[in-house]
Amino acid sequence: MAVNINGRLVAKDTCQALRPRIAALPRPPGIAVVRVGEDPASKVYVGRKTQRAERLGFHHKEIHLDVETSQVELEAVIDAVNADDLIDGILVQLPLPDHLDSTAILDRIAPEKDVDGFHPVNAGLLSQGRPRFVPCTPCGVMKLLERSGVSIEGKHAVVIGRSNIVGRPMAMLLEKANATVTLAHSRTRNLPDLLAQADIVVAAVGRPHFVKGEWVRKGSVVIDVGINRLDDGSLVGDVDTDAASKNAGWITPVPGGVGPMTIAMLMENTVRAAEFRTA
């Protein structure tokens, strides 16, 4: 049976380790979290992020805008938080309502306050192997691998999903840690054959139980990024965890695996932004 990788514990330790760094700052780190509309999942995620920021003693602003907010209005909000000296990190909760151009909004965030790591300047730095702000979810996965004592160098990692938020930066981080990386996506053929050669699998697809237990190689590390809500209200990942646990050496649960790490890394990125900005 696979060893369970406890994301809640690693996230808690990661946040605890930030406390002396926060205490050493001339003022509390500041974060602004922007949410537009009434997407229920976004409301839950933003609530968790601001709660964690509050517990760590951050200065925090939760900006909740009406679903009808226009592009120009949202851009003005971003400009205002860009100009606010007490704000070090800005997060725009995705997805935005369809009438808004998310890319233009994310591009408008000042790169030095882009604690989500989605701005093209930060994505470009990562792609050149000199990361500054790295998207929180893949950054959290790296920390989970590190804490589990799993070595990455020379291993074959298969990342399933190529979004700018998870899959693509994940592949870059694993490559930077000297893994040999295969980035699989919706047009990939013979995924089970690829997984049969994988030492590390990261699933970020957004389809419940997409990765079957029998695809998982004996002893491999399986990181499940997916968060999918089933009709009965329960949350499941992209991996058929029960079946995969029989083959995997290590596995992350959903919930309680990658999710808490995303929030912890957002806090860490904000502390780093505050360190840069107050130095």
Which residues lie near ligand NAD (CB under 6 A)? 137, 160-163, 165-167, 184-186, 188, 191, 204-206, 225-228, 258-259, 262
By beta-carbon proximity to ligand NAD, the closer residue of 82 and 102 is 102
Active site residue 116: yes
Element (H, E) at 264: helix 258-278
Minimum distance from residue 173 beta carbon to ligand NAD (Å): 14
CB of 43 or CB of 185, closer to ligand NAD: 185
Task: State the nearest-atom distance from the C-beta of 206 to ligand NAD, in Å.
Answer: 3
Active-site residue, selected from the candidate residues 88, 114, 116, 199: 116
Write down the least CB distance from residue 85 to ligand NAD, Å: 30
Of the pair 7, 29, the CB lying nearest ligand NAD is at 7
When CB distances to ligand NAD are compared, the closest residue is 163
Minimum Å gap between C-beta 258 and ligand NAD is 4
CB-wise, 165 or 239, nearer to ligand NAD? 165
In 155-227 the beta strands, taken as DSSP E runs, fall at: 156-160, 180-184, 200-203, 221-224
Tell me the two tokens of residue 83: 């100009």
Query: Alpha helix locations (H) across 7-70?
Result: 7-23, 40-55
Q: Of all helices (H) and strands (E), which one includes residue 82?
A: helix 71-83
- Integer Cα distance of 273 and 87 in angstroms: 9
8 A C-beta contact, residue 61 and residue 87: yes
The conformation of residue 211, written as its DSSP 8-state character, comes to: B
Question: How far is residue 65's CA from residue 35's CA, in Å, rounded to a whole number?
Answer: 6
**Known catalytic residue at 93:** yes
Half-sphere exposure of 66 (CA within 13 A, CB side): 4
- Which residues are known catalytic residues? 49, 93, 116
